[in-house]
């Protein structure tokens, strides 16, 4: 593609692109996603010039055979944009190039409102060949682009949507009538307000009428299903919504509100479900165009480059312009917006034009902060300034806690059995009888006693007529019957209950009302009859709780046993939790996880909140306060559990001693008195609040406020309730049920809003742990000065807050609803950073600070999710992503905008989200280094470093690994407790199975993960990495099989040729028999064991980075595919099964397998337990030892070779035969017989048995002498314990002969495992700065002129072992060894380091057989354990110092080239770098 631009002094220029004509439609489709709302593509003509018009771009091409086309782009001056009319869709530059014509709606209409008309139809006409010159000569006259219309005729494209109801924002209400049938008339009203409402009324309507409807974001798109729906709406086949009309006499009506600003129109049909009859508009959908919610600002034109930056940041083009105009309407200037978006000027040129900060601070003090729902319906004036963030050392954020020893989980498992009441014992006795089926069970409080009603299914068939239902001693009355209770003893004369049994015929009755009578008193249920249903809710099938492995089982058993008590009220639950906190803390991480799981089940309404128990709000508040005080104390004393404690607190709420809880009770009475609303729904709610307040009350109060503010619209009330999980059934389920809907007078509106707003604050102060405004108020202090509301109630400010902190919180509140979230995020994070030092210090108000920090964290998540909600809901498609890239590039050309600014903005957003996660996480060192890496990538981009995208991609990979590790840790800690406790409590399995997933989604990591995943393919494209990394480019034909882990199938044999699509590949696995290809999204190193095995076995092996390709491959499970790889890509096609044999022959013309003469030769013991390098022969040691000895003195002097000695072949067998090891020898014989019989589980037991070997004195003495004479340190000189460490390492090397991977590998190729002998190469460890592996022929491309190498920090085990992440990789041409090219930067989070020590390397006779690569199958074991260090690449000279990097990589390449020349064949070389010097520790032929 070549683009030539010649703007000169004119405003028109030409872009010429030469492409195959066949690609033209796809290219236009791609561009449409990136730049334009609509493209119309007429058919190509071989004789005439065809021209296109979309937005402000003409595209012309002369004929089919021409292989090029050009854009003729005419740009209007931006200052004239506001005066230009619209062309197709919403124009970028608003210059009409073709005229639109309108067709009248053909439906039968009553009335003549001209606003109700058919949607405009775009008419695209062909032109003659002379049209090209006409197009080229089009010019601007005045404020319009005038097009010469010679020869335009014959429309070739039409897209008509009929029955359009178009609305004009200038009107408050529009109306139209339609005749559906002779007697059925439909009237459609569109009411225009902050939320457009469509009201449909049907006269003379029938029953069973439904609105079948959906929204449209674009005429070409399918219906979208809005979240805001009228009551009773159901989803119809996932394609539409169906809402029943509300019948009133002979008429029916329905109101639909659309609060999604992206929905431009509503389409619908009417359906009679009873008759399956559809009412349409002349065969088409009814179409209601909704009013635009964009507020134009006169005399201001926003430059297009700013619109495009905003669109990129929002990931949504349509909303960008409107949002910027909204900023203008708030007082921002173009300069303010440019400074904010481009970060070129940190100074603010505009102050908040609304209420002063002092005034707003007074409102906080008085408790007048309004809720988010209140705010978004009002016009607010925001400050456009940005805060100046302080410079901080990121390492000050480090949380790296060393786990402390805690009491054993089982140590405190004893518990005094709970004493049951007589009634509970009776209930338990009945429930445990196998022949009794309990249909329903309910307990009522009767003063200080309890009334239990059990409904059981009758064990016999239908009984006698109803008069015979009466129990013995009953007497019939006119409308009821009296039946006496009988007294029975449960466990002795002192423990008695009164009982009455009534048998009811099955199916005849659904329930029974009753009252009880004692003496002269009637006993009722709060003034009403008791009522019991005969059929209760179906119980979920209870899953077996299992053994509770991985949980604090004793604690969870206690929780399960106390759940029935906890269900009485929140007071009971919180007090029980407080009582269990000491045990949970003593048990440690698993104990606190158990409390979290229990509280989370409560918060998500999986557990009963209130059951037949009245409790005062202040008692609930006091219990919350007690629990949160204990959590606060644990937070201070056990900082290693802070993350768990934060999650527990967020589920509990703040609580409060005394006044805060009592205010819930008192203030509702004030509301009723002040507003004359003491009956109906308000009285029912009042009774519920007095009986048992809960977090539901926050939602109910908010629903009332929304209902009143929206002109007493009942649908708004129900929408708020339903959106927050409260249904009509839930309202009726309360012990004090809410039956009625609210009903207020209009003259009460202002007073109700004021009082309910104050009351909402009180409710949130108790129940909402993560509400930002109440959290700020609790910390900053407030005094209630409402009318009649507890005048004089105070909460004092928290002492010791940082200077300027109140103003910072006010800044956050001012920006909390900004659509452009960057400024808000900066404020939130600055507040969290300022707060952080206070959270680690004891403070009697610490929990208020913790709740504030939790609320700030929650607001970060809410803001970022709001900013790319549409992106999060959409699947990332390749064309979409490429289109964005093209869009970014094209705009940078058209508007002289550096598209790197866009990447800077996105990466900066990632740094903010990562900082937020760091502030919320324990053991956050890896996350901190990820953040430093992103900062380094940003610095590289800003300084013009050409490798910035490659480096950023490595940081992205590491960030993704860190998030995955965090998710796995959550699953490991929380899921077993959720599974066990959920089973014990009989919870729905679906709620249990997704427990950890939902916890992760609710946390700080989810939004970061979403943004990182979206950026990944874009960075790959910029870095020219493509969608594949082909590790072994072998053509393959096989059946697709999808597996989670390659490890889980490594020992399997597939009968048919198989292509494995494996979600996880660690790097150490074997490739199963019958496998012809392995495709994975995982990133094993190119030189890892599995990669080498794939190349040696001629198996196609590749990493795929494109989720769409992976999804497509998974969808083809069971199908036969042919893979055709190159060094950088793979194509695949389906083939017929009949072609399998021919394809296999053509794609595998060279038969793969072991030469027939290959075999293992058993080695004999040479008579020595230790030999020096000078004594090495092929009969004593393997190729590893022989090669290292051969290199000594032959490689260049700047390449170091470590000193070596070895325990030769046969040493293990000799030790095993020693008389001291007779018991071990006998046991080994028994275990090996079991192994030969196919019992592979004994492999682990064999390895353990080898570790029981005792060294013969001769071995110890000979090894000591050889090591000392070779200049190596002898471990025994440091004490007997050090020698024991060395001896254990030697035995582990020998034992690795029986590791699963090695055993099955030799078995697979039919090598006699008994003949495998193990020598041990002993070397002094070089404390490496870096380790490397070299392949002197590029293994991916097979290019012999190219060296390929991978480098890691620290020891090489992270490179050849199963350590996640990628190494630094590079290539070097052998004729340009001083010019290495980096292919990828490292993402491995862990490096291994060790002090001066000895390593014992495996060196078997089966590692380097011709045609079989056994390298890497056996273990090399250091005498000392390596230290795992979390790596910081941002300060590593190999990553950031270009000269140092070139020097080290060139030296590695030269060493590889020298060794290859020495052997005369390609080599696989391992080595290390220490203080800039290269050391080679082993080499072998490259397989």
What count of other Cβ atoms lies within 10 Å of the Cβ of residue 320? Answer: 22
Query: Helix (H, G, I), strand (E, B), or coil: what is residue 771?
Result: coil
- Tell me which H or E stretch contains 818: none
What is the secondary structure of 540-574 as a DSSP string?
Answer: PPPPP-TT-TTS-HHHHHHHHHHHHHHTT-HHHHH
Question: How many CB atoms sit inside 10 A of residue 488's CB?
Answer: 11
Query: 810 and 897 in contact (C-beta within 8 Å)?
Result: no
How would you write 645-712 as a 3-class SS string?
Answer: HHHHHHHHCCCCCCHHHHHHHHHHHHHHHHHCCCCHHHHHHHHHHHHHCCCHHHHHHHHHHHHHHCCC
Distance, CA of 1010 to CA of 865 (rounded, Å): 9
What is the rounded distance in angstroms from the CA atom of residue 197 to the CA atom of residue 258? 6
Helix (H, G, I), strand (E, B) or coil at 1353: strand
User: In 3D, which of 126, 21, 30 has the Cα closest to residue 69?
Assistant: 21
Cα 14 to Cα 28, 106, 128, 1167, distances in angstroms: 17, 43, 21, 86
> 1406, 1316 in Cβ contact below 8 A?
yes
Q: First CA to last CA across the chain, in angstroms?
A: 41
Contacts 24+ apart (CB under 8 A), 1138-1147: 1140/1037, 1140/1057, 1143/1037, 1144/1037, 1144/1057, 1147/1035, 1147/1036, 1147/1037, 1147/1122
User: In angstroms, rounded to a whole number, what is the distance separating the alpha carbons of residues 675 and 756?
Assistant: 11
Residue matched to tokens 């480096």: 951
Burial (CB count within 10 angstroms: exposed 0-12, middle 13-18, buried 19+), residue 729: exposed
Bridge-based pairing state of the strands 1421-1422 and 1398-1404: antiparallel
Q: Are strands 530-533 and 12-18 parallel, antiparallel or unpaired?
A: unpaired
Q: Is 815 noted as a catalytic residue in this protein?
A: no
The number of C-alpha atoms within 13 Å of 135 and in the hemisphere containing its C-beta is 30
Q: Is 23 exposed, middle or buried (0-12, 13-18, 19+ CB in 10 A)?
A: exposed
The Cα-based distances of 408 to 552, 554, 586 in angstroms read: 9, 11, 8
In this structure, what DSSP letter does residue 384 have?
Answer: -
Written as six digits, the tokens of 541 are 């099938």
Q: Which of 1062, 1068, 1059 is nearest to 1091 (CA)?
A: 1068
Instruction: Kindly give the pairing relationship between strand 125-126 and strand 153-155.
Output: antiparallel
Q: Write out the DSSP string of 1031-1088.
A: EE---EEEEEEEEEESGGGTT-EEEEEEEEEEEE--SSPPPPEEEEEEEESS---TTS
Q: Answer whether 442's CB lies under 8 Å from 503's CB.
A: no
Give 1256-1312 as a 3 state SS string.
CHHHHHHHHHHHHHCCCCCHHHHCHHHHHHHHHHHHHHHHHHHCHHHHHHHHHCCCC
Kindly compute the dihedral angle of the four CA atoms of residues 1028, 1033, 1038, 1042, in this order, to the nearest 10 degrees.
Answer: -40
Please pick, among 212, 1089, 1313, 1335, the residue that the annotation labels catalytic. Answer: 1089
Q: Is the dihedral of CA 967, 971, 973, 975 positive or negative?
A: positive
Contact (CB, 8 A) for 1182 and 1408: yes
DSSP state of 431: H
Q: Which residues are catalytic?
A: 1089
């Amino acid at each position: 593609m070549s683009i030539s631009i010649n703007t000169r002094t004119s405003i028109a220029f030409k872009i010429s692109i030469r492409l195959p004509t066949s690609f033209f439609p796809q290219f236009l489709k791609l561009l449409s996603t990136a730049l334009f709302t609509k493209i119309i593509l007429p058919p190509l003509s071989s004789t005439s010039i065809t021209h296109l018009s979309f937005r402000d771009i003409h595209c012309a091409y002369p004929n089919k055979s021409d292989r090029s086309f050009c854009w003729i782009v005419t740009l209007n001056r931006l200052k004239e944009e506001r005066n230009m009319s619209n062309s197709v869709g919403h124009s970028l530059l608003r210059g009409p190039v073709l005229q639109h014509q309108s067709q009248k709606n053909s439906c039968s209409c009553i009335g003549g409102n001209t606003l109700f008309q058919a949607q405009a139809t775009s008419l695209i006409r062909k032109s003659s060949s002379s049209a090209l010159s006409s197009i080229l000569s089009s010019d601007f006259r005045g404020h319009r682009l005038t097009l010469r219309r010679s020869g335009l005729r014959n429309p070739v494209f039409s897209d008509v949507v009929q029955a359009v109801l178009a609305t004009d924002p200038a009107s408050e209400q529009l109306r139209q009538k339609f005749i559906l049938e002779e007697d059925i008339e439909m009237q459609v009203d569109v009411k225009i307000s902050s939320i457009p409402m469509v009201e449909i009324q049907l006269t003379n309507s029938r029953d069973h009428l439904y609105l079948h409807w959906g929204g449209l974001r674009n005429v070409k798109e399918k219906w979208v299903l809005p979240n805001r729906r009228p009551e009773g709406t159901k989803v119809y086949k996932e394609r539409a919504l169906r809402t029943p009309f509300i019948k009133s006499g002979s008429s029916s009506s329905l109101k639909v509100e659309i609060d999604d600003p992206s929905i431009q129109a509503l389409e619908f049909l009417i359906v009679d479900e009873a008759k399956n009859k559809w009412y349409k508009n002349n065969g088409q959908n009814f179409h209601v165009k909704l009013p635009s919610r964009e507020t134009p600002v006169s005399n201001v034109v926003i430059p297009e480059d700013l619109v495009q930056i905003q669109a990129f940041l929002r990931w949504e083009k349509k909303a960008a312009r409107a949002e910027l105009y909204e900023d203008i309407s708030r007082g921002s200037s173009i300069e303010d917006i440019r400074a904010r978006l481009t970060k070129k000027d940190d100074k603010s040129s505009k102050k908040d034009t609304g209420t002063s900060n002092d005034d707003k601070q007074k409102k906080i003090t008085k408790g007048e902060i309004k809720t988010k729902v209140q705010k978004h319906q009002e016009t607010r004036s925001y400050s456009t300034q940005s805060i100046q963030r302080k410079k901080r050392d990121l390492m000050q954020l480090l949380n790296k806690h060393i786990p402390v020893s805690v009491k054993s989980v089982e140590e405190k498992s004893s518990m005094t059995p709970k004493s049951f009441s007589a009634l509970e014992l009776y209930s338990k006795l009945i429930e445990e009888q196998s022949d009794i089926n309990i249909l329903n069970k309910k307990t009522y409080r009767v003063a200080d006693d309890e009334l239990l009603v059990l409904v059981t299914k009758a064990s016999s068939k239908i009984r006698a007529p109803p008069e015979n239902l009466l129990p013995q001693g009953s007497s019939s009355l006119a409308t009821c019957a009296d039946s006496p209770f009988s007294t029975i003893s449960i466990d002795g004369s002192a423990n008695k209950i009164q009982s009455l049994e009534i048998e009811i015929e099955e199916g005849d009755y659904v329930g029974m009302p009753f009252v009880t009578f004692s003496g002269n008193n009637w006993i009722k249920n709060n003034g009403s009859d008791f009522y019991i249903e005969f059929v209760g809710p179906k119980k979920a099938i209870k899953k077996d709780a299992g053994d509770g492995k991985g949980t604090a089982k004793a604690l969870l058993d206690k929780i399960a046993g106390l759940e029935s008590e906890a269900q009485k009220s929140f007071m009971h639950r919180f007090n029980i939790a407080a009582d269990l906190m000491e045990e949970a803390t003593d048990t440690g991480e698993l104990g606190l996880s158990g409390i979290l799981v229990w509280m989370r089940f409560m918060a998500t309404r999986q557990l009963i909140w209130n059951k037949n128990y009245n409790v005062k709000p202040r008692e609930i508040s006091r219990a919350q306060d007690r629990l949160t005080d204990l959590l606060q104390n644990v937070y201070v004393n056990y900082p290693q559990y802070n993350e768990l404690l934060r999650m527990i607190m967020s589920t509990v709420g703040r609580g409060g001693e005394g006044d805060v809880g009592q205010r819930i009770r008192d203030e509702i009475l004030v509301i009723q008195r002040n507003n004359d609303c003491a009956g109906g729904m308000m009285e029912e709610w009042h009774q519920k609040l007095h009986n048992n307040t809960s977090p539901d009350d926050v939602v109910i109060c908010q629903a009332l406020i929304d209902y009143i503010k929206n002109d007493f619209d009942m649908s708004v009330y129900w929408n708020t309730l339903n959106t927050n999980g409260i249904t009509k059934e839930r309202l009726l389920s309360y012990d004090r049920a809410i039956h009625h809907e609210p009903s207020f007078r209009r003259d009460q509106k202002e007073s109700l809003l004021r009082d309910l707003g104050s009351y909402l604050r009180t409710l949130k102060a108790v129940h909402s742990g993560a509400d930002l405004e109440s959290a700020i108020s609790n910390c900053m202090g407030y005094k209630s000065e409402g009318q009649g509301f507890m005048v004089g109630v105070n909460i004092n400010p928290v002492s010791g807050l940082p200077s300027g902190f109140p103003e910072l919180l006010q800044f956050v509140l001012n920006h909390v609803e900004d659509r452009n979230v960057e400024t808000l995020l900066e404020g939130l994070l600055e507040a969290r950073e300022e707060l952080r030092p206070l959270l680690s210090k004891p403070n009697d108000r610490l929990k208020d600070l913790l709740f504030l920090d939790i609320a700030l964290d929650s607001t970060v998540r809410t803001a970022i999710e709001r900013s790319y909600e549409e992106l999060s809901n959409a699947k990332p498609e390749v064309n979409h992503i490429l289109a964005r890239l093209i869009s970014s590039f094209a705009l940078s050309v058209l508007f002289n905008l550096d598209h790197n600014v866009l990447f800077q903005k996105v990466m900066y957003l990632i740094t903010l989200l990562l900082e937020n996660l760091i502030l919320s996480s324990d053991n956050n060192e890896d996350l901190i280094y990820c953040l430093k890496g992103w900062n380094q990538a940003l610095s590289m981009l800003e300084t013009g470093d050409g490798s910035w995208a490659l480096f950023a991609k490595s940081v992205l990979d590491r960030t993704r690994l860190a998030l995955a590790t965090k998710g796995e840790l959550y699953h490991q800690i929380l899921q077993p407790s959720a599974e066990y406790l959920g089973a014990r409590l009989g919870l729905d399995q679906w709620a249990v199975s997704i427990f950890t997933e939902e916890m992760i989604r609710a946390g700080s990591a989810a939004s970061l993960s979403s943004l990182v995943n979206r950026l990944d393919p874009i960075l790959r494209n910029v870095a020219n990495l493509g969608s594949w990394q082909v590790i072994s480019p072998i053509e393959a034909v096989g059946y697709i099989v999808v597996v989670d882990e390659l490890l889980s199938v490594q020992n399997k044999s597939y009968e048919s040729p198989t292509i494995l699509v494996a979600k996880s590949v660690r790097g150490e696995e074997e490739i199963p028999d019958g496998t012809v290809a392995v495709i994975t999204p995982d990133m094993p190193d190119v030189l890892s064991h599995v990669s080498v095995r794939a190349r040696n076995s001629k198996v196609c092996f590749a990493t795929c980075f494109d989720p769409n390709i992976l999804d497509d491959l998974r969808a083809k499970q069971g199908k036969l595919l042919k893979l055709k790889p190159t060094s950088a890509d793979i194509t695949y096609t389906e083939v017929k099964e009949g072609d399998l044999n021919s394809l296999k022959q053509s794609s595998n013309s060279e038969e793969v397998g072991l030469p027939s003469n290959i075999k293992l030769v058993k080695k004999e013991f040479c008579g020595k337990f230790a030999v020096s390098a000078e004594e090495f022969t092929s009969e004593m040691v393997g190729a590893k030892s022989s090669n290292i000895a051969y290199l000594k003195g032959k490689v260049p002097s700047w390449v170091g070779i470590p000193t070596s000695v070895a325990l030769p072949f046969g040493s293990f067998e000799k030790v095993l035969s020693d008389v001291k090891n007779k018991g071990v020898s006998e046991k080994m014989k028994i275990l090996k017989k079991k192994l030969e019989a196919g019992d592979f589980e004994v492999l682990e037991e064999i390895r353990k048995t080898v570790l029981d070997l005792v060294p013969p004195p001769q071995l110890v003495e000979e090894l000591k002498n050889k090591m000392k004479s070779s200049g190596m340190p002898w471990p025994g000189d440091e004490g007997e314990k050090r020698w024991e460490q060395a001896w254990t390492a030697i035995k582990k090397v020998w034992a690795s002969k029986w590791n699963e991977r090695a055993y099955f590998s030799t078995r697979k190729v039919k090598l006699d495992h008994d003949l495998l002998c193990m020598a041990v190469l002993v070397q002094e460890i070089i404390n490496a700065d870096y380790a490397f592996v070299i392949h002197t022929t590029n293994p991916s491309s097979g290019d012999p002129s190219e060296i390929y190498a991978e480098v890691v920090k620290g020891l090489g085990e992270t490179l050849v072992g199963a350590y996640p992440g990628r190494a630094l990789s590079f290539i070097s041409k052998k004729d340009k060894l001083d010019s290495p090219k980096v292919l990828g930067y490292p993402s491995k989070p862990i490096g291994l380091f060790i002090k001066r020590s000895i390593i014992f390397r495996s060196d078997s006779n089966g590692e380097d057989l011709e045609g079989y690569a056994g390298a890497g199958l056996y273990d090399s074991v250091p005498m000392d354990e390596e230290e795992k260090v979390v790596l910081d690449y941002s300060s590593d000279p190999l990553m950031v110092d270009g000269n140092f990097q070139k020097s080290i990589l060139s030296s590695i390449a030269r060493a590889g080239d020298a060794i290859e020349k020495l052997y005369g064949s390609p080599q696989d070389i391992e080595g290390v770098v220490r203080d800039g010097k290269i050391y080679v520790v082993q080499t072998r032929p490259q397989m």
